[in-house]
Amino acid sequence: MRLQFKATHVVLGLLCVMYFITYVDRVNIGTAASEIQKELHLSNTQLGLVFSAFAYPYLLFQVIGGWVGDRFGPRRTLFWCGLIWASATIMTGFVTGLVTLFIARVALGFGEGATFPTATRAMQYWTPAGRRGFAQGLTHAFARLGNAVTPPLIAVLMAWLTWRGSFIVLGLVSLLWGVVWVLYFRNEPKDHPSITSEELASLPPRAPGARPKVPWGPLLARMWPVTLTYFCYGWSLWLYLNWLPLFFKNNFSLDIKNSALFASGVFFAGVVGDSLGGILSDGILKRTGNVRLARLSVTVTGFAGALASLIPIIFIHDITVVALCLSSGFFFIEITIGPMWSVPMDIAPKFSGTASGLMNTGSAFAAIVSPLVAGYVIDVTGNWYLPFLMSMGLLVLGGFCAFLMHPEIPFEAGEPMLPGSQAVAAE
């Protein structure tokens, strides 16, 4: 008897692989940074500029990419995204200096900018409404798994192929994913040759007629608290992703292999956090039927737990204690992912690609500012703990901003732009 997987499960699996690969390709530079920095003669401030280069087009294409995903569908959009980010990763293996390295990272951000909003559009139609938190948590758990395996993976590839060869190999793997995706996926579940009637019955109904035009003003008014909250999350995320291997290497005088292992251990905590956050949020929603409680309770707990976890590293500098605190902090900040990425689908299901793009501009902007500020602060002060102290302030702000989100009130295209008017209109 031949084993046959459900089409919905295969699509979710392909998206999980995409999230994994995109994060490997965007954080590999953190592990290779010490060798790149040595060969290209870069300061920490210049390295921070290189880290931030990815985020400039990434920020721009959150909204544009989300609109493209809504307009042209995830099949073509993600294929072309994969082609671009794979080419950029391969290009990184051939850079000759700061300028060409910056250009390669910009191209990577250009390719990956539309991926997560477009993936959210794919999940909107291919995932039952009651499993949105789980699907978002699982895909982002694979992203964090990419974070976790990247440091030791790059260390091994660097020893085998040099840092340049490691980027070329990873780019070829990305190309392979794009081919598999475009051959298997269909924008409309009903058009897939392997989908069953039972699967179709479990999926959200599709509204008939042409795609509605995006009401930008009202949608922005609804989404800005979500974007601000996600910026506060993104500040800590990008500090971890870009600087953690160098933090362990330089602050505790470790070699590349050992610093990679410590960073990997911290990132594995995020895998658990991503998975658990989505499950908890969906579980609360199932038991209470309260969308706001399901999303905000897990999100606020994540911000508070991350803050409490990071406080000890300011006073205790033992490497074991620091690694455990950073792991706990990353676990808690990552449990916010499942509920946060469900919020755009809760608020604006008809415009979920665009709405999630608006939300992710917060993290994309943080990806520009956070590494630049961290690199400058480290160069000026020589203190590797100060950037984490700054993150604590953003965690406090994020916890308070979360209460401004209203996922329980569905967005209507004709609603007024004033954010205070939705609750009245919904009553």
- Across the chain, which has 427 residues, the per-10-residue mean pLDDT values are 70 92 87 88 87 84 76 90 94 93 92 84 80 78 84 88 92 94 90 83 67 79 93 92 83 78 84 86 90 94 96 90 93 92 86 82 88 87 89 95 90 52 34
pLDDT at 4: 60
* Confidence (pLDDT) at 211: 60
User: By three-state DSSP, how is residue 352 classified?
Assistant: helix
CA distance readout (Å), 373 to 39, 50, 252? 23, 12, 21
Write the burial class of residue 283 (CB in 10 Å: 0-12 exposed, 13-18 middle, 19+ buried): middle
369 to 25, 284, 312, 397: CA distances (angstroms)? 20, 35, 25, 16
Tokens of 33: 């940074």
Four-point Cα dihedral 241, 247, 253, 254, nearest 10: -20
Gap between the Cα atoms of 251 and 155, Å rounded:
19
Domains of the chain listed by start with CATH number? 7-201+215-410 (1.20.1250.20)
Report pLDDT for 3: 47
Residue 23: name the closest of 48, 57, 54, 49 by CA.
54
Burial of 198 (0-12, 13-18, 19+ CB in 10 A): exposed
Distance (Å, whole) CA 234 – CA 239: 8
- For residue 122, the model assigns a pLDDT of 85
Kindly give, in sequence order, each residue whose CB lies less than 8 Å from that of residue 13, ignoring residues fewer than 6 positions away: 5
What pLDDT is stored for residue 426 in this prediction? 33
